[in-house]
Amino acid sequence: MFKLYSYFRSSASFRVRIALALKGLPYETVPVHLLRDGGQQFSDDYRALNPDALVPTLLDGDHALVQSMAIVEYLDETHPQPPLLPGNALDRAHVRGLAQSIACDIHPLNNLRVLKYLKHKLGVSDDAKDAWYRHWVEQGFASLETTLTRGGKAGRFCFGDTPTLADICLVPQVFNAQRFQVDLQAYPTIARIFDACMEEPAFQQAAPKAQPDAE
């Protein structure tokens, strides 16, 4: 069985949890508390698995897989049903583009270690740190909203009527945005797709509050 090193609130872990749930793959959760003990991701044992000291890590047998996007694509290649990417190259590029707008251009700027650096090393106030957070989410969501509304590719979900890698990235980012009081009214398509995703059992099972380490 897979082992997923995960933190309930981690959006990158959430992506992998959604993919596992969509594919109906059983796994054991190994909680890594990102704040407790100075951050359990920095322990020697965890760093031996994941030198980046970031969650998630997926153990498949003896193989420790890192980086949520690589893990999701690995799961998709090894367990093709239901597919998380479309069948033709142009559509795949579109879906990966949506996903990477979130995973590469929004999420890394707002990661815990970045926020900690702003606060503790650069002396930024909590208000300024939260403004930083919202700025990058709002800028990213504005362009994502535009991409989702043109070209007629979005359906019930980001691409068509079944969840893809794009939805897997979108939903955790919306959860994070809500924690930082980002107003979703400006992004009606994102809000609509988020609601559609959250009607799906796989997204519900993967949500932070459903995790064994939820607080």
Ligand X SMILES: N[C@@H](CCC(=O)N[C@@H](CS)C(=O)NCC(=O)O)C(=O)O
Residues of this chain that interact with ligand X (CB under 6 A) are 10-12, 34, 39, 41, 54-56, 67-69, 103, 111-113
The least distance separating ligand X from the CB of residue 156, rounded to whole angstroms, comes to 25
Nearer to ligand X, 56 or 208 (CB): 56
d(CA 172, CA 99): 11
- Which residue's Cβ lies closest to ligand X? 113
The least distance separating ligand X from the CB of residue 41, rounded to whole angstroms, comes to 5
Nearer to ligand X, 103 or 207 (CB): 103
The least distance separating ligand X from the CB of residue 60, rounded to whole angstroms, comes to 15
| Residues found in the chain | 215
d(CA 31, CA 39): 12
Nearer to ligand X, 154 or 174 (CB): 174
Q: Find all residues with CB under 8 Å of 163, minimum gap 6, and list them.
A: 18, 22, 84, 157, 197, 200, 202, 203
Strands (E), the chain: 2-6, 27-31, 57-60, 63-66
Nearer to ligand X, 69 or 165 (CB): 69
